[in-house]
Chain A
Amino acid sequence: MNGFFDLPSDLQYSYLGLVGLHLREALIPVLAGLLIALPVAQLCARFRWIYPPVLGLTTVLYAIPSLAFFVVLIDYFGQSETTVMIPLAVYSLVVLVPGIVDGVRSVPKETLAAAEAMGFGPLRRYLQVQLPIAAPAIIAGLRVAVISSLSLVSVGMLIGNQGALGNMLYDATTYHRPALAVNSVLTTAVLGVLADALLVLVRRLLTPWMPRKGAAR
C-alpha cells in the first residue's frame, strides 16, 4: 500500500493533484512577472537613467530570502497561495528585466530605422520588430525564472502547507518516510528540466532564423 506515488491522506491531494498545484503556484507568478517586466524593460530601454536605480532595487529585492518574504506577507494575505505567489512574481520580475532590456537594446538602430521607414508606428514596431529580435533574451530569462520558481514553491510548506510538492517534505520528516522527500525533490527537478526543455523548443519555433547548432544557451 505504501507505493512510491501513494501519498498520506493528510496531504489532501493525489500525486498528480500536487503536481498540478505546484505548476500553478510556480507558473502564474512567472507569467505575472513577465507581464510587468515587459513595460518596465521598455521604459528602462527608452529612458536610460531609469535603468541603474531599477537594477539596484531589483538586486535588493532578489536578496530577500523567500521565507522572510512569505512570512511578512502572511499579515496581508494569510497562509494562502497568494502569499507564496507574490514573492515568486517579484523574483521572476528581477530575473526577467535585465535580460529583456539587453535584448531590446540589442536591436540594431538600422533595423529600427528601416521599420520606421516602412511606416511602422511605435506599437507595431515594438510588437513586430523589437519583441521578436529580443525573443532569445526573453526566453533565456524565462528559463531561469521558471526553474527557480518551481524550486522555490516548496519553501511554501513552512507557511501552513502551501508548498504543493514541498508539503511532502513535511510528511517525510514527521512520518520518517525519506521516500516521500525523494519523490518531492525528484518530481520538482523533473518538472524543472521538462519546463526548461519546453522553453528551448519554444525559442526554436519563435526564432527560426537563428542557427540551430552551438546556440545551447
Chain B
Amino acid sequence: MNVLNLVHAFFGDGAHWHGYDGIPTRLAEHVTYSLEALLIAAVIGLPVGLVTGHYGRGGNALALIATAGRALPSFGLLVLMVLWIGLGLVPVMIPLVVLAVPPILVTTYEAVRTVDPSPVDAARGLGMSEARVLFRVEVPVALPLILSGLRTAAVQIISTATIAAYVGLGGLGRYIIDGLYQRDYEKVVGGAALVAGLALVTLLLFWAAFRLTVSRGVRRSA
C-alpha cells in the first residue's frame, strides 16, 4: 500500500468533489471551525498577553495557566463537553480554544516583555500615553513573535479540528473518521493530505502577513 497512490486515487475520484461530502464543502467547514476557534482564542489571548507583557507582570500566573491549558487533553475534553452540554459546535470550540490560547498568550507576553526598553523609554519621554506606547512602539517591534504564536496556534487548531467529526460535525475529519470505520484507507490518507495541505497554506498566509505588516526596520534586525 503506497500512500502516494492512495492520495492520487482519492483526489482522482470525481465523486469526492461534489455534494455535501465533497472536498469543497468539507474544506469550507474545516476552515470555518478553525477560523472561529482561532478568533475566539485570539480575542482571549492577545489582550491579556499584551497588557501583562506591557507591565511585565503576571508571568508566573500566565505560565501556570498555559501549562494547565496544554495539559488538558483535547480529545478527552471534547468527549466530556459532549456528555455535559450535548452535541453541537460549542463542545468542539471549547477544546480548540483551550488548545490555542496557551501559545498565543505566552508568546505575546514574551514578545512584548522582551522589547528593547530604550525606544519604549524614548516614547514615554516624548509624552506618549501608555496605550500609545503599547500600540505605536511595542506592538510593531513585537509583531514577528506575536505572529509566530498565532501561527503555532493556527496549525494546531487545523490539525486538531479533525476531532469535530467524531461528534457528528463536518470538516476534513469526516474523511478520517469515516475512513477509519469503513476501513477505507484511501479516504483517511486523502483527508490527512488535505489537512496537511491546509496547514501549509496557513503557513504561507502567515509568511505573507509577516511581509505585509512587519516594518522593514524590524524585519532587518530580526
**Among A71, A147, A154, A172, residue most surrounded by chain B Cβ atoms (within 10 Å):** A71
B59 A216 Cβ-Cβ under 8 A: yes
| A135: Cβ under 8 A from any B Cβ | no
**Among A67, A148, A216, A217, residue most surrounded by chain B Cβ atoms (within 10 Å):** A67
B74 A65 Cβ-Cβ under 8 A: no
- Which residues in window 121-143 of B have CB below 8 A to A? none
B79 A172 Cβ-Cβ under 8 A: yes
Given A63-B199, A63-B200, A65-B173, residue A192 in contact with residue B185 (CB < 8 A):
no
How far is the CB of B80 from the nearest CB of chain A, in Å? 4
How far is the CB of A163 from the nearest CB of chain B, in Å? 8
Q: Which residues of B contact A148 (CB under 8 A)?
A: 70
Interface flags for B156-191 (1: CB within 8 Å of A; 0: not) read 001110110010000001001101100001001101
Q: Which residues of B contact A172 (CB under 8 A)?
A: 79-80, 83
Nearest A residue to B161, CB-CB: A65
Binds A, one of B10-18, B34-42, B60-68: B60-68
A63 B155 Cβ-Cβ under 8 A: yes
B203 A176 Cβ-Cβ under 8 A: no
A68 B188 Cβ-Cβ under 8 A: yes
Q: How many residues of A contact B (CB 8 A)?
A: 44
Partner of B195, one of A64, A152, A184: A64
| B89: Cβ under 8 A from any A Cβ | no
Tally of A-B residue pairs with Cβ under 8 A? Answer: 138
B203 A59 Cβ-Cβ under 8 A: yes
How far is the CB of A27 from the nearest CB of chain B, in Å? 15
Chain B contact-residue range equals 35 or more
| A196: Cβ under 8 A from any B Cβ | yes
Q: Which residues of B contact A178 (CB under 8 A)?
A: 80, 83-84
Bound together, the chains give a CA A215 to CA B83 distance in angstroms of 40
A155 B75 Cβ-Cβ under 8 A: yes
Given A65-B173, A71-B176, A178-B84, residue A192 in contact with residue B71 (CB < 8 A):
yes
Interface flags for A176-217 (1: CB within 8 Å of B; 0: not) read 101001101100111111001000000000000000000011
Nearest B residue to A181, CB-CB: B80
| B208: Cβ under 8 A from any A Cβ | no
Bound together, the chains give a CA A64 to CA B199 distance in angstroms of 9
Nearest B residue to A148, CB-CB: B70
Given A62-B159, A64-B192, residue A185 in contact with residue B80 (CB < 8 A):
yes
Given A59-B203, A62-B159, A71-B188, residue A169 in contact with residue B176 (CB < 8 A):
no
Q: Which residues of A contact B63 (CB under 8 A)?
A: 216-217
- Which residues in window 111-126 of A have CB below 8 A to B? none
| B4: Cβ under 8 A from any A Cβ | no
Q: Which residues of A contact B177 (CB under 8 A)?
A: 67, 158
B180 A71 Cβ-Cβ under 8 A: yes
Q: Which residues of B contact A50 (CB under 8 A)?
A: none
| A166: Cβ under 8 A from any B Cβ | yes
| A80: Cβ under 8 A from any B Cβ | no
Bound together, the chains give a CA A52 to CA B115 distance in angstroms of 27
A60 B76 Cβ-Cβ under 8 A: no
Pairs A–B under 8 Å by Cβ, sample size 21 = A59-B203, A64-B195, A65-B176, A65-B195, A71-B176, A71-B180, A72-B188, A144-B70, A166-B73, A169-B80, A173-B79, A178-B84, A182-B80, A184-B80, A185-B72, A189-B71, A191-B71, A192-B67, A192-B72, A193-B68, A216-B59
4 closest Cβ pairs, A-B complex:
A192-B71, A63-B199, A68-B192, A151-B73
Beyond A63-B155, A166-B75, list 4 extra A-B contacts (CB 8 Å): A60-B196, A69-B192, A147-B71, A151-B76
